[in-house]
Chains A and B, each alone.
Chain A
Amino acid sequence: MLSAMQHPLLFSRFPRHISSSFAKSRPLHILSSAQPTAGLSVADQSPPSNSQILSIRHSLLSGHFTATQLAESYLNRLKLTEPQLNSFLHISNNVLKEAQEIDDKIKKKEEVGPLAGVLVGVKDNICTADMPSTGGSRILEGYRPPFDATAVKRVKELGGIVVGKTNLDEFGMGSTTEASAFKVTANPWDLSRVAGGSSGGSAAAVSARQCVVSLGSDTGGSVRQPASFCDVVGLKPTYGRVSRFGLMAYASSLDASGCFGSSVTDAGILLHAISGHDRFDATSSKQEVPDYASQFISATFLKSRPLEGLRVGLIRETIDEGVDSGVKSVIHGAASHLEQLGCMVTEVSLPSFSLGLPAYYILASSESSSNLSRYDGVRYGNQVSADELNSLYEDSRAKGFGPEVKMRILMGTYALSAGYYDAYYKRAQQVRTLIWESFKAALDENDILISPAAPSAAYKIGMMLTSSVIFFFFLLSLSFL
């Protein structure tokens, strides 16, 4: 099967750990030359032709292989790698059926969408009508939403096939997927390490080529950090760019749906597919959606210094002490590369940087304590039997939520208590204004700002569970931006 579809671009760049076991059982000739070094996605240097989405489209329309063959090959790899990785909480039963429908359309020369045949992983806090959506929480175990999230609906309308629901920290609260109620996702490049989080399943699934692209969500780094850990492209769009209808709310003033791909082009194509105003989400922006991917030019057509004059600010606080030397050297390497391409790189300082994390944490836990009050065991989700209504709420929530979620709800309840609002929530919002102002000042001086996505490469599974709370904050501290 696979020999019929060995497009040179399609199955390259497997993480070594997976590819070695995979290669034994499959006639794969094209394997990675990519080095799984620090697991950091710095600047993707791939030309647009590295897009899997574009090459799949080309191959399907030229008859090089069928959507069914493609889907079978992905499903086979998924089956083979999933026991080690645990990227998925649920795998769709309809993948081959949907692939067949696309093949039928192509056969009849009907128009197919730009994502036709593209297998998409969907983070499990994003609702899908035909599959369970648990948010990684026991309280929603087995829950089937009555609708598709708008992002999922748009992916499907464009021909994308949802391959399954990916693992996450419960309701997005965590940065390793170890806070999932169901399983821990391993990093495809080193199975003893975490995939990051909270969108760890979505990042690992793309990294191990269990799917082509995936959807995630980012409240405080939940797309960017796992993308960095798993060496894929992660894109956290501007707040409001993508509809959040059907995304289980965590912190409404920060939540954003995001994309994972193995190339910048793929992430751009997926973002284009899911962006735009949605009447079901009043916070979704009405600004025009540009075709991001069509603006990319193949590297072969570029002059030697294509970024001549672009002002790049490297955020000093994100390469300060405490950041791994490996991370620093990769970032400095990326900065010199940008200079070679014509950029002017200077360090910029964001004076309010250190206040950002406590402010973020106050906002996120406060809003989560309010948002998660919907999980009361009455309208959906798991209910315990009780002889009194308050006990039903309290026991259903006690049994349904994991410790991390409980603690964040309690902290948020504290911060929002009558009389405390000004001291915590309002102050955090004021700090957000300071941060916004310092970013704006930095962006007046620069065209873009760069920073590492995390202060270290992926850590060992179990390390965070035994670390102190403050250490945890430190590791998180870069991802909230």
Chain B
Amino acid sequence: MASRTSLMLRGLSPYYCCCCFFNLSSRSSSSSSKLFFLGKNSNPTIRYCSTKATGGASSLPPPDVTHLAKTARISLAPNEVEEFAPKIQQVIDWFGQLQVVDLDSVEPAIRAESLHENAREDIPETFENREAIRTSVPSYDDPYIKVPKVLNKE
């Protein structure tokens, strides 16, 4: 959640340079995890100042792969960050062409076809093959699914 907040701050300050970014961050310095996030992210300032988004996407800051990986819960090796960053940047730039299209009065289409009300009644049912579900769980201690400790900071 904390990292999501940080990202939002960036989203609201698209044209700010590195100093502004730090100003915003320091204002919310009461949260240790935010500082942790910034610390992990070795040089966000350099990325922000040196990377120019092209095309219509220029109003949004470029992707920070390390942060995205944290949000998506995928640990990336440094060489992966290096490999993915330019590729992801290229695609995001290419997405930018949609920013210049006039879409003001256009309704968004949720899916390919609008479908009628199809939802079944919300009544719980028992799935017969429960044993197969249980055997799929990598770490199981009847009747619990085992995971490592969830809280290790507070």
Contact = CB atoms under 8 A, between A and B. Distances in A.
26 contacts: A129-B132, A144-B132, A238-B113, A253-B110, A253-B112, A355-B97, A355-B101, A358-B94, A362-B95, A380-B138, A381-B136, A383-B139, A390-B73, A394-B74, A397-B75, A398-B74, A401-B74, A406-B76, A406-B80, A411-B91, A413-B72, A419-B7, A427-B103, A431-B98, A432-B108, A434-B103
A361 interface: yes
Contacts of B27: none
A429 B108 contact: yes
Contacts of B152: 388
Contact of A389 (B71, B77, B150): B150
B59 interface: yes
Given A146-B133, A239-B113, A386 B148 contact: yes
A17 interface: no
B8 A361 contact: no
Interface in A195-210: none
Given A239-B111, A406-B84, A433 B98 contact: no
B137 interface: yes
A383 B148 CA distance: 12
Contact of A358 (B97, B112, B147): B97
Interface stretch (B16-24, B36-44, B115-123): B115-123
A480 B74 CA distance: 28
Given A252-B111, A373-B73, A407-B88, 16 more contacts: A146-B133, A239-B113, A253-B110, A379-B137, A381-B138, A383-B138, A389-B148, A390-B73, A410-B65, A414-B68, A414-B92, A419-B11, A420-B60, A423-B59, A432-B109, A434-B103
A387 interface: yes
A284 B133 contact: no
Interface of B: 4, 7-8, 10-12, 57, 59-60, 63, 65, 68-69, 71-77, 80, 83-84, 87-88, 90-92, 94-95, 97-99, 101, 103, 106-113, 115-116, 118-120, 127, 129-130, 132-133, 135-139, 145, 147-150, 152
A388 B151 CA distance: 8
B120 to A, nearest CB: 5
A38 interface: no
Leading 6 A-B pairs by shortest Cβ distance: A419-B11, A146-B132, A429-B108, A383-B138, A394-B75, A239-B112
Interface stretch (A74-82, A108-116, A275-283): A275-283
Contacts of A473: 94
Contacts of B137: 378-380
Nearest to B5: A418
Contacts of B107: 430, 433
A418 B148 contact: no
Find the residue from A387, A392, A427 having the highest chain B CB count within 10 A.
A427
Contacts of A380: 136-138
A22 to B, nearest CB: 38
A96 B113 CA distance: 41
Interface string A336-379: 00000000000000000001001101100000010001001111
Contact of B106 (A394, A413, A434): A434
Contacts, number: 195
Given A388-B148, A398-B75, A469-B87, A417 B99 contact: no
A404 B4 CA distance: 24
A436 interface: yes
B132 A387 contact: no
B125 to A, nearest CB: 10
A398 B69 CA distance: 10
B108 A426 contact: yes
B118 A387 contact: no
Contact of A470 (B71, B83, B90): B90
Nearest to B130: A146
Contacts of B145: 378-379
Contacts of B90: 469-470
Contacts of A426: 108
A358 B94 CA distance: 7
A322 B126 CA distance: 55
Contacts of B92: 411, 414
Contacts of B95: 358, 361-362, 415, 424
A411 B150 contact: no
B98 A378 contact: no
